[in-house]
């Protein structure tokens, strides 16, 4: 069952480009009868591996704003253990309800993203975090720094609390506060997720040993599913894959709500 779930998550990652952990956790809980704190570090291992691969690719392509990523990640690292602590002291029913609510939000955001509004360069307002087009350097204003710090705090806490990478917090936030293009936003987000996921996994493992018998085949099969899906992902329109992911997330959220 763990291998089947891993293959499914790998295919989702290949076709949608995101959302692996947010679907992996409910599938691990429902399919293997795990609690959320048990499923979270297993899902985070798969997130960590795929995020590292994406970060290396982004660094090679020079699309990662690594100073931005390190600032966000530094506060994410500080707040991730707090999220793990909160997860341990929150009743499982409430934690599952919070997770289901987050899934519904991600599904709504993904559905909206599948129908982007066309804007011209003149329509774009000035952002708190602006890149100088001449020097390609970021203007480090006080407002920009505050926004990035808040993003890191929220992403880290959510990663620890729910066992997700936090990309669904970072990507929309960077889209709102910066003039980064989407390729840069995703690459920068993956670097943050890589760093924060390590801390969340360690924090979970300090309280309860990670179930390696489930984790290893799950992670390996996730990578296999990702490699297989990557061969066909270009043949499916982004709109269809994004809306398909949104529908899957809605179904998984409903199942979690009715189970608990």
Q: What is the DSSP string of 155-184?
A: HHHHHHHH---SHHHHHHHHHHHB---HHH
Residue 106: other Cβ atoms inside 10 A: 24
Average pLDDT over residues 118-142: 71
What is the pLDDT at residue 73? 93
Q: Judge whether 168 and 19 are in contact, CB under 8 Å.
A: yes
pLDDT number for residue 121: 46
Tell me: pLDDT of 122 over 60.
no
> Which residues touch 123 (CB under 8 Å, ≥6 apart)?
none
Across 104-118, average pLDDT = 75
Dump pLDDT digits (tens) for 203-237: 888 877 888 999 999 989 988 887 887 777 667 77
- Given a cut of 70, whether residue 192 has pLDDT beyond it is yes
Provide the 3-class DSSP secondary structure of residue 232: coil
Of all residues in the chain, the percent with pLDDT exceeding 70 is 90
Q: What is the mean pLDDT of the chain?
A: 83
Task: Classify the C-alpha dihedral 250-251-257-260 as positive or negative.
Answer: negative
- Report d(CA 239, CA 223) in Å as an integer: 24
- Taking only the tens place, the pLDDT of each residue in 139-175 is 888 889 999 999 999 999 988 888 887 877 888 888 8
| 6 in Cβ contact with 129 (< 8 Å) | no
Distance (Å, whole) CA 91 – CA 99: 12
Sign of CA dihedral 54, 120, 15, 235: negative
- Give the Cα separation of 145 and 137 in Å (integer): 14
Q: Give the contacts of 205 (CB within 8 A, at least 6 positions apart).
A: 41
């Amino acid at each position: 069952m763990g291998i089947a779930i891993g293959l499914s998550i790998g295919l989702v990652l290949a076709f949608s480009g995101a959302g692996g952990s947010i679907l992996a956790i409910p599938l691990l809980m429902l399919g293997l009868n795990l609690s959320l704190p048990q499923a979270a570090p297993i899902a985070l291992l798969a997130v960590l591996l795929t995020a590292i691969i994406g970060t290396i690719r982004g660094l090679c392509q020079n699309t990662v704003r690594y100073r931005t990523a390190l600032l966000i990640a530094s506060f994410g690292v500080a707040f991730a253990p707090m999220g793990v602590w909160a997860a341990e002291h929150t009743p499982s029913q409430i934690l599952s309800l919070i997770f289901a609510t987050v899934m519904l939000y991600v599904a709504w955001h993904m559905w909206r993203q599948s129908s982007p509004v066309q804007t011209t360069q003149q329509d774009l307002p000035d952002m708190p975090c602006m890149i100088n087009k001449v020097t390609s350097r970021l203007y480090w204003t006080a407002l920009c720094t505050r926004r990035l710090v808040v993003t890191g705090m929220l992403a880290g806490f959510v990663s620890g609390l729910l066992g997700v990478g936090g990309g669904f917090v970072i990507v929309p936030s960077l889209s709102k506060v910066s003039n980064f293009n989407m390729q840069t936003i995703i690459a920068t987000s993956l670097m943050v997720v890589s760093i924060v996921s390590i801390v969340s996994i360690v924090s979970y493992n300090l309280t309860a040993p990670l179930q390696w018998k489930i984790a290893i085949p799950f992670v390996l099969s996730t990578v296999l599913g990702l490699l297989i899906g990557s061969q066909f992902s270009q043949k499916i329109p982004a709109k269809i894959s994004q809306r398909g992911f949104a529908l899957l997330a809605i179904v998984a959220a409903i199942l979690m709500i009715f189970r608990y």
